[in-house]
Structure 1
Amino acid sequence: MKDSLEAMKALIEQINRHNYAYYTLDKPDISDAEWDKLYDRLAAMERETGIVLPNSPTQRVGDQLLKGFDEHKHRARLWSLDKAQNHEDLMLWYNRVQKLVNEYNNQHPDDQLPQPSFVIELKFDGLTLNLTYDQGVLVQAATRGNGTVGEGILAQVRTIRSIPMEIPYREGVIEIQGEGIMNLSVLEQYNKTAAEPLKNARNAAAGALRNLNPKITASRKLNAYFYNVGYTDGLAFSDHREMVEFLRNNRFKVSPYVHFYDSIEEVARELDQVTSMRHTFDFLIDGLVVKVNDMRTREVLGYTDKFPRWAVAFKFEAEEAVTTLLSVSWEVGRTGKITPVAKVEPVDIAGVTVQNCTLNNIGDIERKNLKHALGSQVYIRRSNDVIPELLGKVTEEADGQEIVYPEHCPSCGSQLELKGAHLFCLNRLECRPQLIGRITHFASRDAMDIETFSIMTAEQLYQELGVRDPADLYQLQFDDLVKLERFGDKKASNLLAAFEKSKHCDLASFLFALGIPNTGKTTTKVLADHYRSLQKLMEATPEELVTLNDIGGIVADSIVSFFRDPVMQDSIERLLQAGVNPVSDDAPVIMNADNPFFGKTVVLTGTLTTMSRDDAGKKLESMGAKITGSVSKKTDIVIAGESAGSKLKKAQELGIRIIDNEQELLQLMGEA
């Protein structure tokens, strides 16, 4: 048995070596037939001995159907990247880097940072992977998730043959980050025989890696490239070049394009060069990533609350295409608003097949000269991950069929009403999409945050248990839920517990959950902070409301009409009777005549480095400031952090006081 075990280990090492040459280096050193013989011999030995070693290539097949994804907490956070859309944005990022390096060098004459040099890498358009190796063995693989917690997809990742299941580095735990992709040539070959052809490479890769059947993942023959060591027990690198060499030496597939430059001018020229050749790669990229090369400089530059200051993503500009407008359908939203959605002849833009495009309302159709455009050629644009937008007709002539505006609701058949540029269905009691949308919004994370709830849940409860209003949710019983399809004891109990937990909520979230027309999170927070009582708000008049920040006549009328509506009054009363208890967070206001923020209307914009914008806003509110989301003549102060944009520009145009020095802000807040 010992001899057999050693023979199996030697065979596994031999096969893994050939796999590395084939899948990672793209330099096969034996024929497929020879590889098959080695694999078959190993499989036969495993059957004879009954032993399957963890790193065996036979474990990449993915035979076992999984029940679900487990959460995985990353040892090191996976950061998002700030974006640069053009050379001007790139230079703004570079100037911030240079400024911080100069400041550090001025303060540390005996510990100078080198002048910034840079590395450019491709920004792969797939699914981010975070691999965990312990003593050289792959023990976990996870999606990015929210950057802190992702989903464990080890079984799926093991099917990717370019990913090593063992690496030479065996000193503790290490996390390696990269991107799972499907090569375009592989997608083309797959679709030749697929019963259901895949639309595009990005969705194909993401769908395969988040599929509970690893056999499907294996069938798509995914690939993966790696670009970062996110966490180690003590390993350190002097620069990015050294880290890339470490990845290569440990059998990871590194991007075929990693270039180093000493000046930002060289970087800018190279970005233009790669942008012009983006479609020559056998995989999708949606931009490039520029990073500071020196690791010590990265440590000094650090992070904002969202991004590393030492890296930026240079995103490709939106791409346009010409296609044919086939039809326009009309969808009903939770407020009764009817939104047109254009269907076009499928067209490929940057590797993504587009067939549905945004049309905002009737005014949008008229403004873009699309009223007589059915069957005509139109321009469409896709910008990064944004839903494609229909820009207008190719010709000015009215040479197509007319887009007919509906007179009745496409769902319930009620007469529609035109308000401004939008059509509305006023049947709030019986229109299915409105009711399901309202219930789904009520349960969403920024509203009542009812865990495990989804639009599918709302549809099922509507269809099978007659749930028509958010208040109906709190009347559901265990016996009601457990008899539903896909509901077992655990799911029913968890949902009831989530309902119970949601009863204790803050007033701002409750107001947002109600879905008051023309109000968002900022407005409902203003209302909650001012009235601090649901009853007082329900009794408010339009004249009172327009005195508050960000609330004009239209919004004030919407709020008053909402709370005067008998249907809404009944719903709110039923929610309160069910035990929902919205309370205001009474933050103590510092009543100090010398306080520079007391009674001032303040706008926060950009990224603060010493605290988050939310924390700064709460502190300012506790000092008596009124925080608002937009700049107007009523604004007293604008606090501008890094990457402040249009709000800062408007404040400058209006001559509003601007605080763009965080040290000054901290002193005024009494924090310095």
Structure 2
Amino acid sequence: MSEARERMEQLVRRLNETSYAYYVLDNPIISDMQWDQMYDELKKLESETGIVLPDSPTKKVGGEPLKSFEEHRHITRLWSLDKVQSLEELEAWIQRTEKLAEAENLQYYLEYKFDGLTLNLTYENGNLVQAATRGNGITGEAILPQARTIHSVPKAIPYKGLLEVQGECIMRLSTLEKYNKTAKEPLKNARNAAAGALRNLDPAVTASRHLDAFFYQIGTIENPPYDSQPGMLDFLRQNGFQVSPYLGSSKGRQALEECILEVEKRRSSLDWLIDGVVIKVGDYTLRERMGFTEKFPRWAVAYKFKAEECVTKLLDVTWELGRTGKLTPLAHVEPVDFYGVTVKKATLNNLGDIQRKDVAIGCDVWIRRSNDVIPEIMGRAGDPKEDEKPIEKPQICPACGSPLIERGAHLFCMNRESCRPQAVARLAHFAGREAMDIDGFSEKTAGQLYDQMGVRQPADLYTLTPMDFLMLEGFKEKKAGNLSDALEKSKHCDLDAFLFALGIPNVGRKTARDLAQHFGSLEKLKAADEASLTAIPDIGGIVAGSVIEYFSFPENNQMIERLFAAGVHPGEMHSAAEGVFSSMSIVVTGTLPTLSRKQAEDLIRSRGGNASGSVSKKTAFVVVGEDAGSKLTKAQSLGIETIDEAELLRRANS
């Protein structure tokens, strides 16, 4: 028992220390996943020993209010939520809930579990009179001036009775990205950005973050005109509150699990952080019957998703060379487990990114993982350590030893011809199937040509003869002849294929096609400015900047001129055909009954439309097939029309 108590004391001390950093200082020092693991261990020990230490976090809700803010006592207590992290744990919660409610197949509702800071608003006579953080659930920090800077917080509402509304203050991910582009000190993540701004003594700082809020609960109300969760949300909407764009509903266990998996699948497409879903019994009469524990409502639970952020140690940084000659820093971190996936590497964008995030070798860092994408380092976690070493700016190329130059935020090796890795990668990309489509050409062939034939640039390929290819290992007369024919054929290429073959950063195959259709010729594209580029659907500032920068570099223009001199002639491309879909941006998502995705998109283009890959306010409508995912959800949240394949065909032929 003494060992168990000693471990419990260690856990309580560490959990309270990290909770203080998270809730009060807005500077978390461990990840949610690590906190949850310690919390679960403590709960298990408490259950086994029957001991609950006086300062155990299992008895608390939230954190203590900052001393620099006035305290505000909530009219109605703000409850925390019990949590489950697996379908098995959810099943056990459902069984307890149905037993308490004395009913089976209850009507459950699911909402996003936003990852931000709790915001509690008080209205009297239709006017916003107070705003507060959760604090310890009974008292919080009064933050009315800060809350007034949030545009989605109504300052006045139609309802005139006493009202207390609970929601979540967030920072949208798109807002965070925009903010960090010009910030002297970039924000580590959206949750900390929102919490730090809302609990800043200067409302001007709050306003500068352009925060947002979603509301999901009413704590205090006189004579509520609703008796269910959907009714309560409708009441909030009618009074000008922004509510979650998603409300799932389910009566059966299987349907409930399907809703959870659906939300988890679309998680990475949202413009805000969520770390799970909240599941609630919908009927308010049943809620009253079920009541509360010391800490949680018995009629609601949070289903937590797998962690996307974690803290680990930065061990080293290497510089990776790409085909454009750009060097990108790659972080090597102490292995960390993201629910079964071991992560050892993470992204750092460039030298400026390293400096802004204030990271060093040996320091603890926040890393964020989304889906299967390589994680990104978000920033430093905790205070500097004595044994840290600064990340040195490289002076020479790690592949060829040539001096590096700085262009904007990036480092480049300008030795385009004798720096083997970038030259070989550039040749292989140029000849690829979706680029110049030189059949029979591979990266291995590119390496052989570099080593044995002195090929350094794509234009050099067009000087080769079948006899040259016969000198390469693995080539016989037929293979050499076929490759020579494929090279000759590639001289007469489409403009979009040529643009993709050039390897312009951030320009994929679809973007190359959009650029070719819009401008029609290479010369017009080279003369384009940012305004004319971003006027094209699906092309934003990052792609526009990449295009402009690419054509501003003399070496790229020289490479193009050499290709022209070698006989490569990309044809001009006419604007999209006129038709019933002219000037429309249309998205296809899911599996259609008879048409493939490519066939549907080709049909849209043949009728003058733009087959877009993403849903936005500019989207005219979305063609939906089976297993449609996040694009359908976003279309619904924006109120964009959705149609099926049959309706697409009818409109296309009308």
Normalised by the size of structure 1, how large is the TM-score? Answer: 0.45
Normalised by the size of structure 2, how large is the TM-score? Answer: 0.46
